Chains A and B, each alone.
Chain A
Amino acid sequence: MSLLEIRDLNVRYAIAGRVKAAVAGLANRYIDAVIDVSFEVAAGSTLAMVGESGSGKSTLARAIVGLTPFASGSIVFDGSNPFATGPHPSRAYHRDVAMMFQDPVSSLSPRRTVEALVGEPFVIHGLGNRNLGAEVRRLLALVGLPADFAGRYPHQLSGGQARRVGVARAIALNPKLIIADEPTAGLDVSVQGEILNLLARLQAELGLTYIVITHNLAVVRHASDRTAIMYMGRIVEAGPTAEIFAAALHPYTAALIAAQPNPDPAHRRSGPVLTGEVTSLRNRPRGCEFHPRCARAADDCRELVPAAIGRGPGHTVRCHHPLA
């Protein structure tokens, strides 16, 4: 059963007010950060959202938790619409859907102890009258930190330890869904594994559902059941992770996978697979957004936005000329 169901979600940012747009002669005073995004996440599974800078993956995450209002579309969580009454979802929804932010050291207040930080969700949700100290110790144990860390400040933590505190905060209120924004960015490889293993263990123990937002494909391959690839605000391909890695259908997905540095010096690549850069969101190309960088681009790609077509169970691709 799907825990989260997103249909045709659109998020746009205004880049100019009405007056400025009129004076500057802007045809469109918005940039579209997320366009017609639809996907489902099954309870207990992990979906990886992959994309480069500017692909809209973080905006999508913020829209799902209610930090950024969306222009149109629907979000159904656990059978009901948390945004039925307006742009601000209920407190119950905020308890059920937790967000783990990128860069835990800067997302933790430097003036508060680990105990205060991990206890904060309880206080915010009016649950502060519980035995907070005991709750904090239970959570620290769950994320593999010694109880005496409760008295430490963020600057006394290593990157991996700070990330564990972030995990403890995220699971504090027994959420059903955790959205983890770049959970391993900035960590050393030896510590990356620790955090991913911890997330996998908590998923098994607590029955959690994850959306992992990342640009690190090596992490995606190990840590997710399904993968969605975003490019300039659209999901260009989505499917079971193993299938995506074995037989990518979208040329962009294939290029991303091939662009990963090969950790074997005997198999160096001769040159970059993908030239050019992501086009500015202000000058969205006509047709398929990827066509200026695509080797397979034909006339239809320059004119028509490709629709999402199904290729096998649960595998969709937005491409006029998919690779298979």
Chain B
Amino acid sequence: MNGKVLDIRDLSLRFATSAGPVHALRNITMAVPSGEIVGVVGESGSGKSTLALAVMRLLPGNATVTSGAIGFGGGDLLTLDEEAMRALRGNRIAMVFQDPMTSLNPVRSIGQQMVDIQHRGRASPAEKRRKAAAALKRVGMPDAESQLDRHPFQFSGGMRQRIAIAMALVQRPELLIADEVTTALDVTLEAQIIHLLRELRADIDGSILFISHNLGAIAEICDRVVVLYAGEVVEHGPIAEIFSHPQHPYTRALIACDPARISTATRELPVIPGDVPNLRHVADGCIFQPRCSVAIAKCAAERPPDRDCGAGHVARCHLVPEGLP
């Protein structure tokens, strides 16, 4: 099946602040095909977490969606009422956050919490508990049954993240949103969690939206990547394409900056000069133009089009020739 689990079209949203509106996301179009892991990569302020919260409809009160649709399960999430949305969260779309210590309830045992999230199910409490234990087992928790009565503080950071993932998967959601789930972990644990997500995906035919600033983690797990810069999708495509033939100057610079990819040791690491633009006043032209090393006059004046580079690879840049392959 080649359907899209998540289909975001032309999504724009802004935050009202005392200094005026901040245009945090602008005309985002992206999709998560069924059974695929789609990475969203971007630096601080690129809007990647805002995007995740928009899908979950958990944006703070000062956010206003100004255009677009978030297609999921044949409908538009943005048109659902709060009751319908609540029924969806945790059941059909689940989310795992960066810090499991703050996303888990510290005063309830993990077993209680994992039963709580099944509150819509009609199964008996004993059955729900069995389901919780099974989910814990699936994420590699040793002796899962007896762990149910322990509290979050009794687990290590890596185990807590496994619990958060187990909890997200109890209801077998159609879409899992993983927001920087490996960022707070040590590198050996990060490798374990990435491996776990890969295994689970085979297990549940799950579609995952994997949000990270870590190019290495994205490269290890994703099938497709969406590169976000200052609230816009500047490039997206299959993982191998993006990493071996990046077309947008921002993607190229980002990959070039990763010290893990620079094989010879150097004391002069590449950087992207300048700062992320202020999104209160979005200038005409390309959003990356002020920091772009190859910008031409047109880039400051005119918004670049989305250029098709073939094989589902699209870059928003004037310098990508039209009708490439």
- Interface residue? A21 (CB, 8 A): no
A264 to B216, CA, bound (A): 7
Chain A 268-281 near chain B by CB (<8 Å), digits 1 or 0 = 11011111010000
Interface residues of B in 250-283 (CB under 8 A from A): 253-255, 257-262, 265-272, 275
Q: Pick the contact of B271 from A52, A191, A256, A268 — CB < 8 Å?
A: A191
A86 to B113, CA, bound (A): 51
- Interface residue? B85 (CB, 8 A): no
Chain A 157-184 near chain B by CB (<8 Å), digits 1 or 0 = 0110000000000000000000000000
> Which residues in B have their C-beta under 8 angstroms from that of A268?
219-220
Given contacts A260-B187, A260-B216, A266-B240, contact A189 B254 (CB under 8 A): yes
Give the contact stretch, choosing among A95-103, A133-141, A193-201: A193-201
13 contacts between A and B (CB under 8 A): A52-B186, A190-B272, A191-B271, A193-B259, A200-B268, A215-B187, A260-B260, A261-B217, A263-B219, A264-B261, A269-B191, A272-B188, A275-B192
| Additional A-B contacts beyond A197-B267, A263-B215 (12; CB < 8 A) | A52-B188, A189-B259, A197-B269, A215-B187, A221-B259, A256-B187, A259-B188, A259-B190, A262-B260, A263-B258, A271-B195, A277-B156
Given contacts A255-B188, A277-B156, contact A219 B259 (CB under 8 A): yes
Residue of A188, A189, A241 with most chain B CB atoms under a 10 A cut-off: A189
Q: Pick the contact of A265 from B213, B243, B269 — CB < 8 Å?
A: B243
Q: Are A261 and B259 in contact (CB under 8 A)?
A: no
Closest CB in chain B relative to A146 CB, distance in Å: 12
Q: Pick the contact of A196 from B213, B214, B269 — CB < 8 Å?
A: B269
Nearest opposing residue in chain B for A221, CB measure = B265
> Which residues in B have their C-beta under 8 angstroms from that of A215?
186-187
> Which residues in A have their C-beta under 8 angstroms from that of B267?
196-197, 200, 222-223
Residue of B189, B222, B255 with most chain A CB atoms under a 10 A cut-off: B189
Q: Pick the contact of B216 from A219, A255, A261, A271 — CB < 8 Å?
A: A261
Q: Are B189 and A277 in contact (CB under 8 A)?
A: yes
Closest CB in chain A relative to B3 CB, distance in Å: 24
Q: Are A274 and B243 in contact (CB under 8 A)?
A: no
Closest CB in chain A relative to B21 CB, distance in Å: 20
> Which residues in B have their C-beta under 8 angstroms from that of A145?
none
Closest CB in chain A relative to B184 CB, distance in Å: 10
Q: Are B159 and A218 in contact (CB under 8 A)?
A: no
Residue of B191, B217, B240 with most chain A CB atoms under a 10 A cut-off: B191
Chain A 246-262 near chain B by CB (<8 Å), digits 1 or 0 = 00000000011001111
- Interface residue? B290 (CB, 8 A): no
Chain B 131-153 near chain A by CB (<8 Å), digits 1 or 0 = 00000000000000000000000
Among all A-B residue pairs, the 6 with the closest Cβ atoms: A261-B216, A193-B269, A190-B272, A188-B43, A52-B186, A218-B260
Given contacts A193-B259, A215-B187, A269-B191, contact A261 B219 (CB under 8 A): yes
A264 to B241, CA, bound (A): 11
- Interface residue? A68 (CB, 8 A): no
Closest CB in chain A relative to B72 CB, distance in Å: 27
Nearest opposing residue in chain A for B220, CB measure = A261
Query: From DSSP, what is the main secondary structure of chain B's interface residues?
Result: helix
Interface residues of A in 213-246 (CB under 8 A from B): 215, 217-219, 221-223, 241-242
- Interface residue? B71 (CB, 8 A): no
- Interface residue? A28 (CB, 8 A): no
Nearest opposing residue in chain B for A194, CB measure = B271
- Interface residue? A90 (CB, 8 A): no
> Which residues in B have their C-beta under 8 angstroms from that of A265?
219-220, 222, 239-240, 243
- Interface residue? A53 (CB, 8 A): yes
Q: Pick the contact of B258 from A53, A218, A241 — CB < 8 Å?
A: A218
Interface residues of B in 225-252 (CB under 8 A from A): 239-240, 243-244
Interface residues of B in 155-197 (CB under 8 A from A): 156-159, 186-192, 194-195
- Interface residue? B44 (CB, 8 A): yes
Q: Are A189 and B213 in contact (CB under 8 A)?
A: yes
Nearest opposing residue in chain A for B261, CB measure = A263
> Which residues in A have their C-beta under 8 angstroms from that of B189?
52, 277
> Which residues in A have their C-beta under 8 angstroms from that of B255?
263
Residue of B192, B254, B262 with most chain A CB atoms under a 10 A cut-off: B192
- Interface residue? A45 (CB, 8 A): no
Q: Pick the contact of B254 from A190, A197, A218, A260 — CB < 8 Å?
A: A190
Closest CB in chain A relative to B240 CB, distance in Å: 5
Closest CB in chain A relative to B249 CB, distance in Å: 12
Given contacts A190-B271, A222-B262, contact A274 B191 (CB under 8 A): yes
Q: Pick the contact of A190 from B157, B186, B244, B257 — CB < 8 Å?
A: B257
A208 to B262, CA, bound (A): 25
A82 to B265, CA, bound (A): 35
> Which residues in B have their C-beta under 8 angstroms from that of A194?
271
A217 to B188, CA, bound (A): 12
Q: Are B195 and A272 in contact (CB under 8 A)?
A: yes
Q: Pick the contact of B259 from A192, A264, A277 — CB < 8 Å?
A: A192
Q: Are B219 and A264 in contact (CB under 8 A)?
A: yes
Q: Are A197 and B271 in contact (CB under 8 A)?
A: yes
Q: Pick the contact of A189 from B158, B258, B266 — CB < 8 Å?
A: B258
Nearest opposing residue in chain A for B195, CB measure = A272
> Which residues in A have their C-beta under 8 angstroms from that of B254?
189-190
> Which residues in B have their C-beta under 8 angstroms from that of A188?
43-44, 213
A309 to B219, CA, bound (A): 38
Closest CB in chain A relative to B93 CB, distance in Å: 26
> Which residues in A have their C-beta under 8 angstroms from that of B222?
265
Closest CB in chain A relative to B270 CB, distance in Å: 6
A266 to B240, CA, bound (A): 7
Residue of A53, A261, A266 with most chain B CB atoms under a 10 A cut-off: A261
Residue of B186, B195, B217 with most chain A CB atoms under a 10 A cut-off: B186
> Which residues in B have their C-beta under 8 angstroms from that of A261?
187, 190-191, 194, 214, 216-217, 219-220, 260
